[in-house]
Amino acid sequence: MTSTVKNSTAIDWIIFLVSTVLMIFLLMYADEWFWLALPFSLTYLVKAQDMM
Neighbours of 36 (CB within 10 A): 13
Instruction: Give pLDDT, residue 3.
Output: 53
Task: Give the chain's end-to-end CA distance (angstroms, integer).
Answer: 25
What's the confidence (pLDDT) of residue 27?
93
Measured CA to CA, the distance from residue 49 to residue 26 in angstroms comes to 25
Positions of the chain with pLDDT under 50 = none
pLDDT at 51: 85
What beta strand segments (E) does 1-52 contain? none
Going from the C-alpha of 2 to that of each of 9, 18, 26, the distances in angstroms are 22, 35, 45
**pTM for the full model?**
0.78
